[in-house]
Amino acid sequence: MKKFLLFSLIIGLFGVDFGWAKPLRVTIYGPAESKIYVFVAEPINLDGKKNSIMVQEVVQCIKVKLKLFPFFKQLSPKDILEQGKINDVARIDYKKFFLSRADIVITIGERYLPDTGKTRIELRTFDVFKQKMILGKAFDLTNQRQVVLMVRKYLGDLLQLIMGNKAFFVNPIVFVHKGIKKSSIYQIFADGFGLKKLADIQGIVLSPSWSFDGEKIVFSVIQHEQHKLGILDLKTGNMQFKKLPGNSCISPVFTPWGDIAVSLDFSGSPDIYLLDKQLKIEKALVKHWGIDISPCFDQSGSKMVFTSSRLGNPHIFLFNLHNNQVERITYEGNYNTSAVISPDGRLIVFSRLTPEGHRIFVHDLKTGQEKQITFGPGNDEEPFVSSDGYFVVFTSNRSGKYKLYYTTINGDGPYLIPTNNISTFSPSWSWVEEKYF
Amino acid sequence: MRTRWIFGTILMLTLVMGCAKKKIETYPAGVSSNQQIGAQTKPYVTNHQEEQTLSSVQEQQGQTVEEQNLQEEKLKQAQQEKEDIRKIIAKRIFFDFDSYELKPEARKILQQKAEILKKHPEIKIVIEGHCDERGTEEYNLALGEKRARAAYEFLILLGVDANRMQIVSYGEEDPLDPRHCEAAWAKNRRDEFKIISSK
């Protein structure tokens, strides 16, 4: 990474005009998201030589990564007149792409830099309708391992342009792998890149959750027949454990203002309490004789969604922190759990037990509509929504073993997140960019 | 005069012979009189005393064996009792899906446990609440806690001191039967009881 010399060149018209790029934007709350037809052109060797293996890998990597998005539909050369061949990026014949319904064309140029011994890769994206380049960047690579870094960076910027968010490539997902008498907390990105073990912990770790600044992970752990609260500080690498009052410590999460909300049972039943920075109980947020667990806050800190059995079966409720009112969200089914709220506070994503197993549902607070977004087989559980409010990561045992998948709020996919075949539980998607990779 | 001398001689001989007989009787076999005289300065045991000591040892040994047997028997009984206690304490109770209500058979089992716990105040236990794999991790952790607490509170009602019991929920993390079917789930929705101290 350190050797990876990255710089951006403004090539041609790099100015980003959102009004101008409007036709390409993906509207996540639309009744049906628009498809963007993409053509990845054959690479051009700008020295007039044969293309290197490295540039072939760049093409392959771009094509593979584009397949991870439901709104990108790739066109093959046979779909385009003259196989979509481009000889000069300065003089693109847009008509043949326009006739083939291509929305954007991605070109890859390769140039050898004899002074440094590096290979310069120039990546450009053109809007066919506007006949303009919307994103152009050049990267000087020293080896093939940098290809994936470059492609992730470039496509992240492209996503930023189209969706207004590049969380998919830059916000890490944390999850738990359970071993014998110990657990490990891992981190990975949604495209399967950067699988990394963050910590090994004695006991059973559950419910890891990111702080809103991405610097800490809070979790609960069962150690020596006791429930404890654990905090992993990613900045210092320190781990802190705290036995809180009562027997249970369930589903701790950070609040947007940096405190911790957690379900504790010291009054006889699991209720949701707010802890201060010293981990002392500040006040009860939600208290009832039933089970109250799994708090999750929106980014503004005005709404908290949670699961409660106050009506007999577990259902999803919304707690308004401004007026302390509790509102019931789910009426269908009799087992709704694991609710999370989108950062903007509009969507609630949760797991419902159906006769076929657990499935993920989305409830839109604005419209009141509810939609099933996963369909098994097996159990689809523990959803967590990305910071753009569009992707939803979850665990599923559809293959026989619990693995990570992601879908979208429209139910696309799902797509497997490869984790080297280790079992995965309790995924939580950071709402900020990775800081300590 | 002659008659007196003869009588006197007979008397002396009689006395001498009588004394000699006594000596022979008291010396252990194979020991000369000289040796015996020298040995008289040390305590010695007569045959009779030896017999008495031997029988006493045998008696003692007999008693020890008996005691040992008795102790072993007691130990066995104690172990058996301990095992019986352990078995009663370890008896699991089971729950319906998404329920922490104690069933009638669970109440019976808890009554047996309460009797044992009241009889043996030295025993401390931990009650573990478990769930089947259906449901989600966090909810099952809370449900397991409710199940453990249901047993805990029932035992308190039956007169067991709350300080002798602790509860912990494992949710769905420690299934008894790893299969994915109703028979396995029914086994996994349970409370387990473990002795943590019996001093």
Judged by CB atoms closer than 8 Å, whether chains meet at A248 and B137 is answered as no
Residue B96 reports pLDDT greater than 60: yes
The pLDDT confidence band at residue B3, using thresholds 50, 70 and 90, is low
Mutate to test the interface with A, among B126, B132, B145, B181 (most CBs of A within 10 A): B145
Question: For A95-151, how does the pLDDT look when each residue is reduced to its tens digit (9 = 90+)?
Answer: 888 888 899 999 999 999 999 989 999 999 999 998 999 999 999 999 989 999 999
A263 and chain B in contact, CB less than 8 A: yes
> What is the predicted pLDDT for the residue at A179?
87
Q: A227 vs chain B: nearest CA distance in angstroms?
A: 7
Residue A17 reports pLDDT greater than 60: no
Question: For A329-368, how does the pLDDT look when each residue is reduced to its tens digit (9 = 90+)?
Answer: 999 999 999 999 999 999 999 999 999 999 999 999 999 9
Q: What is the mean pLDDT of residues B138-145?
A: 94
Residue B115 reports pLDDT greater than 90: yes
| CATH 3.40.50.10070 residue window(s) in chain A | 6-164
For A197, other C-beta atoms within 10 Å of its C-beta total 11
Question: For A269-295, how does the pLDDT look when each residue is reduced to its tens digit (9 = 90+)?
Answer: 999 999 999 999 999 999 998 999 999
Whether B188 and B133 have beta carbons less than 8 Å apart is answered as yes
The pLDDT confidence band at residue A48, using thresholds 50, 70 and 90, is confident
For A327, other C-beta atoms within 10 Å of its C-beta total 12
Q: What is the mean pLDDT of residues A318-339?
A: 95
Residue B49 reports pLDDT greater than 90: no
> What is the predicted pLDDT for the residue at B199?
66
Please choose, from the candidates A243, A233, A184, the residue with its C-alpha nearest in 3D space to the C-alpha of residue A211. Answer: A233
Residue A174 reports pLDDT greater than 50: yes
Contacts of A426 in chain B (CB under 8 A): 137
> What is the predicted pLDDT for the residue at A276?
93
Pairing of strands A132-141, A104-113: unpaired
Taking domain A6-164, whether its CATH number is 3.40.50.10070 is answered by yes
> What is the predicted pLDDT for the residue at B83?
87
The pLDDT confidence band at residue A238, using thresholds 50, 70 and 90, is very high
Domain topology for A171-429: Neuraminidase (2.120.10)
Q: Which neighbouring-strand residues pair with A219?
A: A230
Q: Where are the domains of chain B?
A: 74-197
Judged by CB atoms closer than 8 Å, whether chains meet at B98 and A313 is answered as yes
> What is the predicted pLDDT for the residue at B50?
63
Q: d(Cα A63, Cα B127) in Å, to the nearest integer?
A: 55
Judged by CB atoms closer than 8 Å, whether chains meet at B137 and A265 is answered as no
The pLDDT confidence band at residue B46, using thresholds 50, 70 and 90, is low
Contacts of B134 in chain A (CB under 8 A): 353, 358
Residue B25 reports pLDDT greater than 50: no
Residue A33 reports pLDDT greater than 60: no
Contacts of A270 in chain B (CB under 8 A): 142, 145-146
Domain topology for B74-197: 60s Ribosomal Protein L30; Chain: A; (3.30.1330)
Judged by CB atoms closer than 8 Å, whether chains meet at A338 and B138 is answered as yes
Q: d(Cα A417, Cα A429) in Å, to the nearest integer?
A: 13
Residue B44 reports pLDDT greater than 90: no
Sheet containing A271-275: order of strands? A249-254, A260-264, A271-275, A281-286
Residue A434 reports pLDDT greater than 70: yes
Q: A11 vs chain B: nearest CA distance in angstroms?
A: 51
Q: d(Cα B141, Cα B123) in Å, to the nearest integer?
A: 26
Write the CB contacts of B84 (distance below 8 Å, at least 6 apart in sequence): none
A223 and chain B in contact, CB less than 8 A: no
Q: d(Cα A335, Cα A331) in Å, to the nearest integer?
A: 10
Q: d(Cα A249, Cα A312) in Å, to the nearest integer?
A: 22
Whether A75 and A96 have beta carbons less than 8 Å apart is answered as no
Q: What is the mean pLDDT of residues A388-395?
A: 95
Contacts of B168 in chain A (CB under 8 A): 222, 225-227, 247
Could you list the beta-strand ranges (E) of A246-291: 249-254, 260-264, 271-275, 281-286
Percent of chain A with pLDDT over 90: 75
Q: Which neighbouring-strand residues pair with B28?
A: none
